[in-house]
Structure 1
Amino acid sequence: MSDTFSPPAARAPLPLWLAAPAAAGAGVLMALAFPSTAIWPLIFVALPLLLSALRGRRVGGALLVGLAYGLLFFGLQVSFTARYLGPVPWIALTVVEGVLTAVALIPITLAYRWLPRVWPRSRAVALPFVVAGLWTLHELFLGNWPYGGFPWARLGMSQAEGPFAPVASWIGVSGLTFLMVALVALTIELARMRGRRRPALLIAPVMTLVVLAVTPLFPTAPSGEMRIAAVQGNGSTGYFDEREPYGVITAQTAATRTIGDAPVDLLVWPEGGVDYDPFQDEATARRLTRLVSRFDAPLLANTATERGDDIFNTSFLWTQDGEAGQLHDKRHPVPFGEYVPDRDFYYALAPELIGLIGREYTPGSNPPLVRVDGVGVGLAICFDVIYDEVIREGVMHGAEVLVFQTNNADFRGTDENLQQLAFARMRAIETGRSVVNVSTVGTSQIIRPDGSTVAGLDADEAGALLEDVELRSGLTAGVVLGPWIQLGMLVAAALLVAAGVLSRRRR
Structure 2
Amino acid sequence: MPRFFRLVVAAFSGLMLFASYQPTGLWWSAPLGCALFFLALDRSNAILASWLQGAVLYLLLLPWVGEFVGWYAWVALAIVQSLYSLLFGIGARYLIRRPSEYPLTVVALSSAALSAWFVATEWLRSSWPFGGFPWGRLAWGQVGGPLAWWIQWGGPALVTFVVVLSGAALAWLLWAVGVGRFPFFRRQQAPNSRYHWAVPAAVALALTVGIGGAISLTASQDPPEDPEQVKANGENSVRIAAIQGNVPRLGLDFAAQRRAVLDNHARQTEKYAARVATGEEQQPDLVFWPENASDVNPFINPEAARIIQRSVDSVGAPILVGTVSPEHNSMYVWGADGAGDVHEKKYLQPFGEYMPMRDLLRKITPLVDRAGNFQPGTDDGAVQMAPFSPNSSRSEPVTVGVATCYEISFDGAPRDAVLAGAQLLSTPTNNATFGFTDMTYQQLAMSRMRAMEYNRSLVVAATSGVSAIVMPDGSVVEQSHIFTPATLTATVPLHSNLTISAKVGPWVERIIAIVGLLATIGALTASRVGVASTNQESRRAAARKQTRRAQVGTKQRK
Fold equivalence (TM over 0.5): yes
Matched to 2:318, the amino acid is P
Aligned to 1:250: 263
Aligned pair in 2 of structure 1 residues 482, 54: CA closer, same or farther (>3 Å)? farther
SS of alignment partner, residue 20 of structure 1: helix
- Select which of 291, 309, 313 maps to 2:329: 313
Distance in 2 (alpha carbons) for counterparts of 1:300 and 1:384: 17
Aligned to 1:338: 353
Distance in 1 (alpha carbons) for counterparts of 2:245 and 2:479: 14
Matched to 2:217, the amino acid is P
Matched, 1:400 2:383: no
Moved more, 42-51 or 188-197: 188-197
Q: How does 1:14-25 map to 2 (within 5 A)?
A: 14-25=1-12
Aligned pair in 2 of structure 1 residues 229, 199: CA closer, same or farther (>3 Å)? closer
Aligned to 2:162: 179
- Select which of 412, 426, 443 maps to 1:420: 443
Aligned to 1:347: 362
Q: Deviations over 1:414-442 (max 9, x none)?
A: 11111111111111111100010110001
Matched to 2:304, the amino acid is T
Aligned pair in 2 of structure 1 residues 20, 329: CA closer, same or farther (>3 Å)? same
Q: How does 1:115-134 map to 2 (within 5 A)?
A: 122-134=105-117
Matched to 1:29, the amino acid is M
Aligned pair in 2 of structure 1 residues 407, 328: CA closer, same or farther (>3 Å)? same
Matched, 1:233 2:232: no
Distance in 2 (alpha carbons) for counterparts of 1:498 and 1:281: 58
Is this contact kept in 2: 1:220–1:473, CA < 8 A?
Answer: no
Aligned to 2:324: 304
Is this contact kept in 2: 1:175–1:482, CA < 8 A?
Answer: no
How far has the Cα of 1:245 moved from its partner?
5.8
Matched to 2:346, the amino acid is R
SS of alignment partner, residue 264 of structure 2: helix
- Select which of 381, 384, 387 maps to 1:368: 381
Q: How does 1:12-161 map to 2 (within 5 A)?
A: 14-57=1-44, 61-112=45-96, 122-161=105-144
Q: Deviations over 1:88-116 (max 9, x none)?
A: 11111111111222123321222116999
Aligned to 2:294: 274
Is this contact kept in 1: 2:151–2:159, CA < 8 A?
Answer: yes
Aligned pair in 2 of structure 1 residues 228, 198: CA closer, same or farther (>3 Å)? closer
Matched to 1:474, the amino acid is N
How far has the Cα of 1:18 moved from its partner?
2.4
Matched to 1:460, the amino acid is F
Matched to 1:231, the amino acid is I
How far has the Cα of 1:490 moved from its partner?
2.8
How far has the Cα of 1:16 moved from its partner?
3.3
- Over the matched positions of the two proteins, sequence identity in percent amounts to 29
Moved more, 94-103 or 44-53: 44-53
Is this contact kept in 2: 1:258–1:464, CA < 8 A?
Answer: no
How far has the Cα of 1:187 moved from its partner?
3.3
How far has the Cα of 1:166 moved from its partner?
1.9
Aligned to 1:451: 474
Aligned pair in 2 of structure 1 residues 226, 361: CA closer, same or farther (>3 Å)? same
How far has the Cα of 1:272 moved from its partner?
0.6
Matched to 1:226, the amino acid is V
Q: Deviations over 1:52-108 (max 9, x none)?
A: 333223xxx433222211111101100112211121111111111112221233212
Aligned to 2:340: 325
How far has the Cα of 1:498 moved from its partner?
4.4
Distance in 1 (alpha carbons) for counterparts of 2:336 and 2:495: 27
Aligned to 1:10: none
Q: Deviations over 1:233-257 (max 9, x none)?
A: 0023842237446211100011112
Is this contact kept in 1: 2:36–2:171, CA < 8 A?
Answer: no
Aligned to 1:387: 410
- Root-mean-square deviation over aligned CA pairs: 2.4
Distance in 2 (alpha carbons) for counterparts of 1:134 and 1:244: 47
Distance in 2 (alpha carbons) for counterparts of 1:167 and 1:155: 13
Is this contact kept in 2: 1:317–1:370, CA < 8 A?
Answer: yes
Matched to 1:248, the amino acid is V
Is this contact kept in 2: 1:114–1:500, CA < 8 A?
Answer: no
Is this contact kept in 1: 2:291–2:462, CA < 8 A?
Answer: yes
Matched to 2:416, the amino acid is E
Distance in 2 (alpha carbons) for counterparts of 1:198 and 1:491: 28
Q: Deviations over 1:452-490 (max 9, x none)?
A: 112121111202112222111201112223522112113
- Select which of 470, 475, 480 maps to 2:493: 470
Distance in 2 (alpha carbons) for counterparts of 1:391 and 1:442: 21
Distance in 1 (alpha carbons) for counterparts of 2:255 and 2:382: 33
Matched to 1:505, the amino acid is V
Give 5+ residue unaligned stretches, structure 2.
Answer: 177-189, 224-229, 387-396, 534-558
Aligned pair in 2 of structure 1 residues 242, 483: CA closer, same or farther (>3 Å)? closer
Distance in 2 (alpha carbons) for counterparts of 1:266 and 1:197: 58
Is this contact kept in 1: 2:64–2:434, CA < 8 A?
Answer: yes
Distance in 1 (alpha carbons) for counterparts of 2:258 and 2:145: 44
Distance in 2 (alpha carbons) for counterparts of 1:439 and 1:320: 23
Q: Deviations over 1:12-65 (max 9, x none)?
A: xx44322222221111221122112112222133112222333223xxx43322
Is this contact kept in 2: 1:376–1:401, CA < 8 A?
Answer: yes
Aligned to 2:394: none
How far has the Cα of 1:198 moved from its partner?
7.0
Is this contact kept in 1: 2:154–2:509, CA < 8 A?
Answer: no
Q: Deviations over 1:364-387 (max 9, x none)?
A: 111111012332100100010100
Distance in 2 (alpha carbons) for counterparts of 1:465 and 1:408: 17
Give 5+ residue unaligned stretches, structure 1.
Answer: 1-13
